[in-house]
Structure 1
Amino acid sequence: MSTITWKIYLKSDPKTVFDLLTTAEGRAKFWAEKAEEIDGQIHFEFPNSQTYQSRILKTISNQEFHLDYFDSLVKFTLVPSENGGTDLTLTNENVAESEFAEVNAGWVSVLMNLKAVADFQCDLRNHDPNRTWGQGYVDN
């Protein structure tokens, strides 16, 4: 098992970023087609028809958000920057070696779209079930 760590700087403040991560409306803007929360679980629905029920493990308002995600542990840590923005660190623990390359690249896609939405109100995804990650499209 491996750990993935990525950092990204966002011009948006921690509250804006936290709201994108922790609300169904926010997650649908940059991550999944749908991501409703019911009883402490996020019901992710992706363009390729894949679904996953993710348990929310820890929430500290505007600072941390942890969840079980495809049988691994994902942690988002938000730190306010000196200019009002956010330094976000994503840590994904317990990633299977056989899935490391795909998951590692997948997080870059998710984080860059988070930046596009948070800082520029622009969703880079195509939302086309015929053009998904599994078919080689990075704008899934």
Structure 2
Amino acid sequence: MKTITWKLHLKANPNKVFDLLTTAEGITKFRSEKANEDGDVIHFLFPNGQTYNSQIIKSIPNEEFHLDYFNSLVKFELKQAENGGTDLTLRNENVPESDFYEVHAGWISVLMNLKAVADFQCDLRNHDPKKTWDQGYVDN
């Protein structure tokens, strides 16, 4: 098992970033086609039709958000940056070695779209179920 770590600087403040990461409305703006919250579970629907029920493990508003994600552990850590923005660290732990390179690259796609939405109110995804990561499209 391996761990992926990425850092991202956003102009948006931690409150806005936390809302994008943790609310159904926020999640659908940058990450999945649909998301529903049910207590401590987020139900994801992705562009390729795949679904996942993600257990929320830890949530400290505007600071940390941890969840089970495809049988691995994803941790988002938010820190207020000097310019009022957010320094985000993503850690994806327990990623199977056989999935590492795909998941590693996939997080870049997700995080860059998060930046586009948070800082520029622009969704970079194509929203076409025939043009997803499975077919080699990074703008899924």
Quote the offset at 1:39 in angstroms. Answer: 2.1
SS at match of 1:107: helix
Residue identity in the other structure for 1:68:
D
Distance in 2 (alpha carbons) for counterparts of 1:134 and 1:89: 26
Quote the offset at 1:19 in angstroms. Answer: 0.4
Give 2:115's aligned residue. 115
Q: Point out 4+ residue stretches in structure 1 off by more than 4 angstroms.
A: none
SS at match of 1:124: coil
**More moved, 33-42 vs 6-15:** 33-42
Quote the offset at 1:10 in angstroms. Answer: 0.1
Distance in 2 (alpha carbons) for counterparts of 1:130 and 1:34: 17
Residue identity in the other structure for 1:89:
T
Q: Any residues of structure 2 matched to 1:52-131 within 5 Å, and which?
A: 52-131=52-131
Distance in 2 (alpha carbons) for counterparts of 1:132 and 1:52: 16
- Unpaired segments ≥5 residues, structure 2: none
- Unpaired segments ≥5 residues, structure 1: none
Distance in 1 (alpha carbons) for counterparts of 2:2 and 2:22: 25
Residue identity in the other structure for 1:10:
L
Residue identity in the other structure for 2:22:
T
Give 1:9's aligned residue. 9
For the aligned residue pairs, the C-alpha RMSD in angstroms reads 0.4
Give 2:132's aligned residue. 132
Distance in 2 (alpha carbons) for counterparts of 1:88 and 1:9: 6
User: How many residues are paired up?
Assistant: 140
Cα-to-partner distance string for 1:22-58 (whole Å, 9 max, x where unaligned):
1000000000001111021000000100000000000
